[in-house]
């Protein structure tokens, strides 16, 4: 039977990957309580400038800040989504915390996947190169890849250069863009594009068939803050500032 979405993974596998990502989104939403929202201290001086310079009312401003925190959380889940998709291609598997993200079942390929090209500092890049080089040395037929799903170009090239003041190179350690890696594993040059085109259809099918009661999970941070200002009579920004910095000199006067 012909697949409905893409030819390189089963329809069921794609829907399972979408389901896993949806659960991550729901968890991120439900996790933004006031306590979570305050956990890293809210920069209300910046928010004051945002409100005035961008002409945003306080309620929408805080909702945007909550959504920014949700977005930060779900960015990691997008990388996991690609790992799960690629791990469903015949002949490959996802690492599931085994040290690699993708492995060829015959040990001819190992890969570490980063959703964006700029998510690593120099120390992390050095550690990643060393890890990929170890796989290349342990498995003599293996090619090892740093995959940048969202890269600044389309490429597959040896990864070499200066990292933290040291020269690094290996004959079988590469860096590769997301489109080229999808093409490499599937044998289809435009595989990533095909996934992109199929996603809206597959997501709609998943949402139409899923239990919508799960979507009740919502972040509660703003509602908790609004409940408190009924008693305190502060505006939203003052309430957040007071609760985050009342121990600062003068801030207890709010």
Please state the pTM of the whole predicted model: 0.84
Q: Has residue 188 been placed in a domain?
A: yes
Contacts for 135 with CB less than 8 Å, ≥ 6 apart? 100, 110, 142, 144
Q: What pLDDT sits at residue 216?
A: 47
Taking residues 195-223, report their average pLDDT: 80
Q: What pLDDT sits at residue 219?
A: 65
Question: Which range of residues forms the domain containing residue 194?
Answer: 11-216
Taking residues 122-150, report their average pLDDT: 95
Taking residues 62-89, report their average pLDDT: 89
Q: What pLDDT sits at residue 39?
A: 86
pLDDT of residue 210 exceeding 80, the answer is no
The count of domains in the chain is 1
Q: Has residue 237 been placed in a domain?
A: no
Q: Has residue 210 been placed in a domain?
A: yes
Q: Has residue 207 been placed in a domain?
A: yes
Q: Has residue 244 been placed in a domain?
A: no
Taking residues 83-101, report their average pLDDT: 93
Q: Has residue 205 been placed in a domain?
A: yes
Q: What pLDDT sits at residue 112?
A: 96
Q: Has residue 242 been placed in a domain?
A: no
Q: How confident is the model at residue 207 (pLDDT cuts 50, 70, 90)?
A: very high
pLDDT of residue 30 exceeding 90, the answer is no
DSSP labels, the chain: ---SS-SSS-HHHHHHHHHHHHHHHHHHHHH--HHHHHTT---HHHHHHHHHHTT--HHHHHHHHHHHHHHHHHHHHHHHHHHHHHHTSTTEEE-SSSS-SEEETTSSEEEEEEEETT---HHHHHHHHHHHHHHHHHSTT-EEEEEEEE-SS--EEE--EEETTEEE--TTEEEEEHHHHHHHHHS-TTHHHHHHHHHHHHHHHHHHHS-GGGGG----HHHHHHHHHHHH---HHHHHHHHHHTTSTTGGG-
pLDDT of residue 215 exceeding 70, the answer is no
pLDDT of residue 217 exceeding 60, the answer is no
Q: What pLDDT sits at residue 212?
A: 54
> Among 15-19, 100-104, 112-116, 136-140, which stretch is predicted with the lowest mean pLDDT?
112-116
Q: Has residue 224 been placed in a domain?
A: no
Contact 132, 100 (CB under 8 A): no
């Amino acid at each position: 039977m012909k697949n409905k979405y893409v030819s390189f993974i089963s329809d069921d596998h794609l829907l399972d990957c979408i389901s896993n990502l949806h659960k991550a989104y729901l968890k991120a939403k439900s996790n933004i309580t006031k306590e979570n929202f305050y956990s890293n201290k809210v920069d209300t001086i910046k928010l004051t400038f945002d409100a005035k310079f961008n002409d945003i009312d306080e309620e929408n401003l805080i909702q945007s800040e909550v959504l920014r925190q949700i977005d930060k959380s779900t960015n990691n889940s997008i990388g996991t989504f690609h790992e799960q998709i690629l791990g469903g291609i015949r002949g490959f598997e996802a690492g599931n915390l085994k040290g690699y993200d993708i492995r060829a079942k015959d040990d001819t390929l190992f890969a570490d996947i980063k959703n964006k090209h700029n998510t690593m500092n120099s120390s992390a890049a050095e550690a990643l190169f060393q890890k990929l080089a170890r796989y290349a040395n342990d498995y003599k037929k293996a090619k090892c890849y740093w995959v940048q799903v969202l890269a600044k170009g389309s490429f597959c090239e040896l990864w070499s250069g200066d990292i933290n003041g040291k020269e690094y190179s290996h004959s079988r350690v590469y860096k590769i863009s997301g489109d080229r890696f999808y093409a490499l594993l599937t044998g289809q040059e435009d595989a990533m594009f095909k996934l992109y085109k199929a996603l809206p259809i597959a997501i709609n099918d998943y949402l139409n068939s899923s239990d919508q009661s799960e979507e009740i999970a919502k972040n509660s941070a703003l509602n908790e803050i609004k409940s408190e200002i009924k008693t305190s009579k502060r505006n939203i920004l003052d309430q957040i500032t007071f609760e985050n910095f009342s121990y600062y000199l003068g801030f207890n006067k709010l």
